[in-house]
């Protein structure tokens, strides 16, 4: 004997011959609600920031600790690596700044709290100090993990 189907036919149309539109769910809930915070933590803006912070940090570290010494040490005096790494870091730094600003603006708008200008400025400046973008990336991820709630790990998303 076949099992009964759990499929239900669609609701009859509303008066006037057309189906009433579904209510708009709106944003993920009130700005400070746990649902809004989880939805916020799930956005791609954090991933974009993490990628840009890591790329910018790696290129800045290569430039500061390998390419610059290669240029200025008399025994080596070769600036070919610096000629490649410096423009690449400059280009990625511009993208890093745009990504950090995007992160700040979306956090301000979606969370309903102030992602104050000071925090965004520190994150932007972290791309100019060797290894500091790694610290900024970890700080942003830790903040997002606190917003998401206990028992979550953003490194596995």
12-41 residue pLDDT tens? 555 555 454 444 444 444 556 666 655 555
pLDDT at 126 over 80: yes
Return the pLDDT at 24: 42
- The whole-angstrom separation of Cα 78 and Cα 69 is 9
Report the distance separating Cα 82 and Cα 109, nearest Å: 40
Side-chain-side CA neighbours of residue 13 (13 Å): 5
Domain positions in the chain are: 34-149
Question: 117 versus 155: which is more confidently predicted?
Answer: 117
Q: pLDDT digit string (tens) for 54-100?
A: 999 999 999 999 999 988 888 888 888 899 999 999 999 999 999 99
């Amino acid at each position: 004997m076949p099992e009964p189907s759990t499929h239900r036919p669609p609701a009859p149309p509303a008066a006037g011959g057309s189906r009433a539109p579904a209510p708009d769910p709106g944003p993920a809930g009130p700005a400070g609600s746990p649902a809004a915070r989880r939805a916020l933590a799930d956005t791609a803006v954090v991933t974009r920031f993490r990628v840009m912070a890591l790329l910018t940090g790696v290129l800045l570290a290569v430039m500061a600790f390998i390419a610059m010494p290669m240029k200025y040490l008399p025994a080596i005096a070769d600036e070919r690596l610096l000629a490649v790494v410096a423009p690449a870091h400059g280009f990625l730094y511009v993208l890093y700044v745009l990504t950090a600003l995007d992160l700040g603006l979306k956090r301000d708008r979606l969370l309903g709290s102030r992602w104050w200008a000071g925090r965004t400025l520190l994150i932007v400046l972290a791309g100019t100090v060797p290894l500091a973008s790694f610290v900024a990336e970890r700080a942003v991820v830790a903040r997002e993990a606190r917003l998401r709630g206990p028992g979550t790990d953003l490194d596995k998303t």
